[in-house]
Structure 1
């Protein structure tokens, strides 16, 4: 954003440890792309890499060439049917949907999901080797001021004593709030309770740790 609160770019890449160095797509380029593709939403389309002509199934030459300049263009494939989960994965997705999350945007794989709650990023996974469902909310990073680390650790330990079914820990420089449940023990009711508490507490803790302990906001990594 600029100093007027206007969006001027969308982050696409941030370098880990790069002191907030990142790369953004200018909002003007995004607007141009949206205006170009929106009228043809739902239909596979691609811009010719040579002349920028919008190639569609209705105008592609011989099924693979740009009608404007003749450059070979490959249109994206549209799935015949949407993926449908089953078993434990389906139960997890039903819970996420009930908690207001977009399932299609949340899917990271067959048994992996990623959602955001406020400023916290939460990873959910079903391990088919040991049948545990885990939820890890990546909060902020440890503060650089070593003088307040002791007080921060004391706070995390005290909170762990009172937390029900969740635990705060440090993974590298990240503070993580986690929950875990065995798949045979998980019902829709207790799964909703655990993940709902994880989402709520993750956002709360992120704000507390940043505002009261000087923790560093988490950076998105490519």
Structure 2
């Protein structure tokens, strides 16, 4: 599949991988103020991808992976799909299951702020901005952008012919990162970078990818990322939006969150799933372990078995919290094996 998840310290989104130019296309507002972002998908480990194209006018951004992927080719339609064509929107946010919705093309060229959009009825609860819109044959006909302001049942998608034109204009830079000016719509490349930080065509303010620096966390977030780093993980790859991090320790999946209103920092290790039907012996084991452990506790949510750690932010420091988080990481990697092998839990 060509679906990618995208995350920054500020937001999460979804993206579509284009094998030909070896780029991920997503929304500019998702990656704004980030030089690199976390991307991932099923079967591909999370990695940092560089932001190499910013387009605030069309709300598009292009990301480049460290190496091309081995994936199926993707046909991008050069003409607009006819009204009534069946289409499917497919996208995924970090921490969520992949979502898809089937619908039909309602309009070919709905003008909004001067941009002609496809209007379609394929909505998976929301528009899943940045996701691909495909025909029944798997041809990409659009990039989903936003809800239709005139109807909650429809979405607006940037049509594939326009995407191809934007790609062609970007590729004229021969690999140089670039940005489109919101005022005059001209693209400026890094090789033509003006020293003033303004568009050389109209003198409007222009942000090129090289002008953006990666975020440096502060306060409690900085402490959490230092704990993650000292524990042997890359905090940049762990970022999953505001005040949220995700870590893999062995076979366990661990989510670290900072709840500013309550001051709680939580570490939740999602270990495995309850067997079907649930096992009384497994619940007895969890209760016995809860009585024995001091810093950690078991709980269940739906069918997930979770091992949790709670710390108030006023007590949070690398010296005090690191041993607790290391203990959580260590125990999470051990407990999931016990629950699966001895009590029939499922991966």
Question: TM-score, normalization: structure 1?
Answer: 0.67
**2:173 equivalent among 40, 58, 76:** 58
Greater shift in the superposed pair: 179-188 or 54-63: 54-63
Does the aligned pair in 1 maintain the 2:223–2:316 contact within 8 Å?
Answer: no
**Within 5 Å, which residues of 2 pair with 1:10-21?**
none
- Cα gap change, 1:127/1:77 in structure 2, threshold over 3 Å: closer, same or farther? farther
Bigger relative contact order, structure 1 or 2 (CA pairs below 8 A, ≥6 apart): 1
Q: Give me the whole-angstrom Cα distance separating, in 1, the residues matched to 2:271 and 2:327.
A: 15
**What SS does the corresponding residue of 1:137 show, helix, strand or coil?**
strand
Q: Relative to total residues, which structure has the larger strand share, 1 or 2?
A: 2
* Offset from partner CA, 1:83-130 (integer Å, 9 cap, x none): 111111111110100011111111112311111111211111111101
Matched, 1:33 2:22: yes
- Asked if the contact 1:170–1:176 (Cα under 8 Å) also holds between the matched residues in 2, the reply is yes
Report the 3-state secondary structure (helix = DSSP H, G, I; strand = E; otherwise coil) of the residue aligned with 2:265.
Answer: strand
| Deviating more after overlay: 199-208 vs 54-63 | 54-63
Structure 2 stretches of 5 or more lacking a match?
6-15, 24-48, 54-61, 64-161, 188-206
Unaligned runs of 5+ in 1: 1-8, 14-24, 35-40, 65-75, 218-222
Out of 45, 52, 56, the position equivalent to 1:44 is 52
Q: CA deviation at 1:142?
A: 0.3
Q: 2:76 is matched with which residue?
A: none
Offset at 1:172? 1.4
Shift of 1:57: 6.8
The alignment status of 1:112 with 2:244, answered yes or no, reads yes
2:299 and 2:20 mapped to 1: Cα distance?
A: 41
1:132 touches 1:183 (CA, 8 Å); kept in 2?
Answer: yes
With over 3 angstroms needed to count, the CA separation of the structure-2 counterparts of 1:94 and 1:153, relative to structure 1, is same
- RMSD over equivalenced CA pairs, Å: 3.4
TM-score of the superposition, structure 2-length normalised? 0.45
